[in-house]
């Protein structure tokens, strides 16, 4: 695996290193030893998939708050997504900064999402499936979210929004959350 650093400390774009022959190829998508060497969480307690019918669907921006903040390894197994993460660590030099990367069945990339990072994506094709590995169990009451269209974040989504959950439209704008807090 090739671990590509990002501007967000602790977040990595991970490319596979295929070993090819006449049958096709074989490649690792997770290796605890290599994750530990990069200072990443290796515990997996929950794996999930999300299937999306329509191109332009947005899921997110979600995270779990402390003490049950979760790290994720995200991979698109069918179709393509524009995957975005936002640093929600208040003491981080990149607090509220974000990156976006295309993950697809074709490029076989993964995105490692550290704890206290909001995560969301937009489908770039119909019939898209995304797989997640998480180091903490989903815990109702600890879930948090950001508006996908928050002007403070300025995320440039790739397509017009075709579908989004009602819950994802109800998250507060950062401006109201940051009153009295220096950005």
Judge whether residue 90 has pLDDT over 90: yes
Q: Which residue has the higher pLDDT, 180 or 166?
A: 166
Asked, for residue 136, whether it belongs to a domain, the answer is: yes
Domain total for the chain? Answer: 1
Asked, for residue 80, whether it belongs to a domain, the answer is: yes
The reported pLDDT for the residue numbered 183 is: 45
Asked, for residue 127, whether it belongs to a domain, the answer is: yes
Asked, for residue 19, whether it belongs to a domain, the answer is: no
Asked, for residue 129, whether it belongs to a domain, the answer is: yes
- Please report, for residues 6, 89, 95, 133, 176, the alpha-carbon distance to residue 9 in angstroms, rounded to integers and kept in the order given: 7, 11, 10, 20, 26
The reported pLDDT for the residue numbered 176 is: 84
Q: What's the chain's average pLDDT?
A: 95
Q: What is the CATH number of the domain that holds 66?
A: 2.60.120.10
Asked, for residue 139, whether it belongs to a domain, the answer is: yes
Judge whether residue 98 has pLDDT over 90: yes
Among 117, 111, 118, 114, CA closest to 135: 114
Sign of CA dihedral 35, 39, 45, 50: negative
Asked, for residue 173, whether it belongs to a domain, the answer is: yes
* Averaged pLDDT, 109-129: 98
The reported pLDDT for the residue numbered 60 is: 93
The pTM for the full model equals: 0.93
- Domain around 7: 2-14+38-177
Active-site entry in 38, 53, 62, 82: 62
Asked, for residue 33, whether it belongs to a domain, the answer is: no
Active-site entry in 38, 53, 119, 132: 132
Does 132 participate in catalysis according to the annotation? yes
- The model's pLDDT over 136-177, given as tens digits with 9 standing for 90+, comes to 999 988 999 999 999 999 999 999 999 999 999 999 999 887
Does 138 participate in catalysis according to the annotation? no
């Amino acid at each position: 695996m090739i671990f590509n650093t990002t501007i967000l400390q602790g977040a990595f774009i991970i490319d596979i290193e295929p070993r090819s022959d006449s049958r096709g190829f074989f490649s690792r998508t997770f290796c605890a030893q290599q994750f530990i060497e990069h200072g990443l969480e290796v515990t997996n307690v929950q794996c999930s998939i999300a299937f999306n019918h329509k191109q332009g669907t947005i899921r997110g921006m979600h995270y779990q708050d402390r003490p049950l903040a979760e790290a994720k390894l995200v991979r698109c197994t069918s179709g393509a997504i524009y995957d975005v993460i936002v640093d929600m660590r208040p003491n981080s030099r990149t607090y509220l900064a974000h990156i976006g990367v295309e993950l697809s069945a074709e490029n076989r990339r993964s995105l490692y999402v550290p704890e206290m990072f909001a995560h969301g994506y937009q489908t770039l094709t119909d019939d898209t499936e995304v797989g997640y590995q998480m180091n903490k169990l989903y815990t109702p009451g600890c879930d948090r979210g950001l508006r996908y269209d928050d002007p403070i974040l300025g995320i440039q989504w790739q397509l017009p929004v075709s579908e989004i959950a009602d819950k994802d439209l109800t998250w507060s704008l950062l401006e109201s959350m940051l009153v009295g807090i220096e950005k």
